[in-house]
Amino acid sequence: MTSYLLDSVILIDHFNGHPEATRFLLENRRSAALSVITRAEVLTGFDPVSEVQARAFLNHIPTHSLTVEDADLAASLRREHRWKLPDAFQAAVAINRRLVLATRNSRDFDPARHAFVAIPYRLRVQE
């Protein structure tokens, strides 16, 4: 069974009502985790009242804190790939914990270049 580190876009899609994201989360609820970076990014998008519900949801997903090893690897990845620091941390957490980063951010995280990345779904175009 593949274990996933959820990127913020996956959770944001879920909270925005995209069934593709909700389906992915339900199918992988026992093998998914998030980082403190993702938690902060996701919670930033809520007003104080809605944030209570969002926190309750996120509390059911195991959350990885950052370590010195994550910081060191993130610095190296940021230099190498010119990623923004939050993206470099996401990659470092996934790599250091042997998780697959589930994201839709194929611009920065092209699965053809990065073996630790998966694009689990594409959003359907609204008609």
Its CATH class, for the domain covering 4-118, is alpha beta
**Phi-psi sector, 123: left (phi>0), alpha (psi -120 to 50), beta:** beta
What would the mean pLDDT of 54-82 be, rounded to a whole number? 98
Domain coordinates of the chain in residue numbers?
A: 4-118
Reported pTM: 0.93
CA pair distance 7, 1, nearest whole angstrom: 19
Q: Does the pLDDT of residue 126 top 70, yes or no?
A: no
What would the mean pLDDT of 3-8 be, rounded to a whole number? 98
Q: DSSP labels for 31-62?
A: SEEEEHHHHHHHHHTS-HHHHHHHHHHHTTS-
Q: In what order do the strands lie in the sheet with 4-6?
A: 63-64, 32-35, 4-6, 100-102, 117-118
**Helix H or strand E encompassing 10:** helix 8-15
Residue with tokens 């609204």: 126
Q: What is the pLDDT of residues 44-62, one digit of tens each?
A: 999 999 999 999 999 999 9
Whether the Cβ atoms of residue 108 and residue 10 lie closer than 8 Å to each other: no
